[in-house]
Amino acid sequence: MLKALFLTMLTLALVKSQDTEETITYTQCTDGYEWDPVRQQCKDIDECDIVPDACKGGMKCVNHYGGYLCLPKTAQIIVNNEQPQQETQPAEGTSGATTGVVAASSMATSGVLPGGGFVASAAAVAGPEMQTGRNNFVIRRNPADPQRIPSNPSHRIQCAAGYEQSEHNVCQGGNCKSHTQNKTDQENCISNIGKRKCCHCKNLKRIADIDECTAGTHNCRADQVCINLRGSFACQCPPGYQKRGEQCVDIDECRTSSYLCQYQCVNEPGKFSCMCPQGYQVVRSRTCQDINECETTNECREDEMCWNYHGGFRCYPRNPCQDPYILTPENRCVCPVSNAMCRELPQSIVYKYMSIRSDRSVPSDIFQIQATTIYANTINTFRIKSGNENGEFYLRQTSPVSAMLVLVKSLSGPREHIVDLEMLTVSSIGTFRTSSVLRLTIIVGPFSF
């Protein structure tokens, strides 16, 4: 290390300072040095000044050529101007050679060029296990600051981008805040710092990005959106638009996919919306949901009941019984036994209503019929009496007293089906036979939703 220091200092002594009008932005130097564009030579970097918390654990930072030292705060730095070696007394509150006092070292044994300098003891740097006087090293520093040139206020020098002339006519790192007049200057300042690893722009952390979009200093067109970036901005087409040539044109989302909406897609400038047919409302932006008109508004009379189905509603008479049937409190139509006309008719008729969506998948169980009165020693059978001329349904008996209506052919709406489901009850000893009918009205909605 002494050899390297010797060669470096020898080079510094041989290179003469000279004024130059040429702007030099970057020249390679040995680690710990940086290029001086004014003096046209490498100069030492003061790491203690630019490196935050260079020394830890309460140590103090002492700069020297090509690096720096971390010494205890109680350490004393003794300047040797080629005077005879003096005995150094420990500082108050300390004792011995390992108390943090940096002792002077003879220039004859240091191996450096004659002149002023300071000596640091290895014990003060590496710890008390190193004895004072062993492996001592000397780093030479001239009494005059080598980074300065004679002060001349009337003399103006040209500095590289990102640097400015000091009161001593030295190019030094400027305040980056003064270099942020525009994007290029700010980038130059940051770029120079990155290349030189000097962090001379001490107020770099104070550089605040200028939001050109908010300040109105961007040049985006009226059909574009300004996006702020760090140190810059970008012009983009707004959502729902795409760049075509130099213009932002609307994207027709409805043409890109047929699955955006459940019913109908409507393209709008920069967006799209979904519509539903009459009797439905839009939910979750894209889905159609049936409106229950029977709970909102309907046109049914007082003697009618409202029945809602998918996509609409219908009004049915509250008393569906037709002569000779009469309505009972159980809401059943019963044919009196005393009436001769009832001998060949079903004993009772029950009216039921249901709705299904159009194009429902098949086969599908849709309705269950079950006996409400069970007689002893009887056998029940079930059949579709009417309304199945095209074979859309099938009745499957599931127990001695129940059966399931199965849809076996898909139905398209809007359409209404009336199916009579009959239950025949026969005595096991053949003493009587009766039947009951469930008249099921099936309303098929116009859509599959």
Residue 17 to residue 32: CA distance in whole angstroms: 20
Inter-residue contact 331 to 318 (CB < 8 Å): no
Across 121-125, 146-150, 202-206, the highest mean pLDDT is recorded for 202-206
Cis peptide bond N-terminal to 324, omega within 30:
yes
Please name the residues in contact with 112: beta carbons below 8 A apart, sequence gap of 6 or more.
2, 5, 6, 9, 138, 139, 140
**226 or 125, which is more confident?**
226
Would you tell me how many other CB atoms lie within 10 Å of the CB of residue 126?
Answer: 10
Residue 191 to residue 197: CA distance in whole angstroms: 10
Is beta strand 232-236 parallel, antiparallel or unpaired with respect to 225-229? antiparallel
**407 or 1, which is more confident?**
407
312 confidence band (pLDDT: 50, 70, 90):
very high
Across 33-37, 45-49, 66-70, 300-304, the highest mean pLDDT is recorded for 300-304
3-state helix, strand, coil in the chain (%, to 5): 15, 35, 50
Residue 160 to residue 181: CA distance in whole angstroms: 17
| DSSP result, 219-252 | ---TTSEEEEETTEEEEEPPTTEEEETTEEEE--
Classify 206 as helix, strand or coil. Answer: helix
Across 109-123, 313-327, 367-381, the highest mean pLDDT is recorded for 313-327
pLDDT of residue 398: 96
Residue 163 to residue 37: CA distance in whole angstroms: 10
**159 or 23, which is more confident?**
159
Would you tell me how many other CB atoms lie within 10 Å of the CB of residue 431?
Answer: 9
pLDDT of residue 163: 57
> Average per-residue pLDDT in the chain?
74
pLDDT of residue 171: 58
DSSP class of 101? B
Residue 254 to residue 257: CA distance in whole angstroms: 6
| Owner of token pair 């116009």 | 446
Inter-residue contact 40 to 20 (CB < 8 Å): yes
CA atoms within a 13 Å half-sphere pointing along the CA-CB vector of 361:
0
Residue 66 to residue 379: CA distance in whole angstroms: 111
Buried/exposed code over 270-283 (b: 16+ C-beta within 10 A; e: otherwise): eebbbebeebbebe
440 confidence band (pLDDT: 50, 70, 90):
very high
323 confidence band (pLDDT: 50, 70, 90):
very high
Backbone angles phi and psi of 59, in degrees to 5: -80, 155
The percentage of the chain sitting over the pLDDT mark of 90, rounded to a whole number, equals 44
pLDDT tens per residue, range 108-146:
333 333 333 333 333 333 333 333 333 333 333 333 343
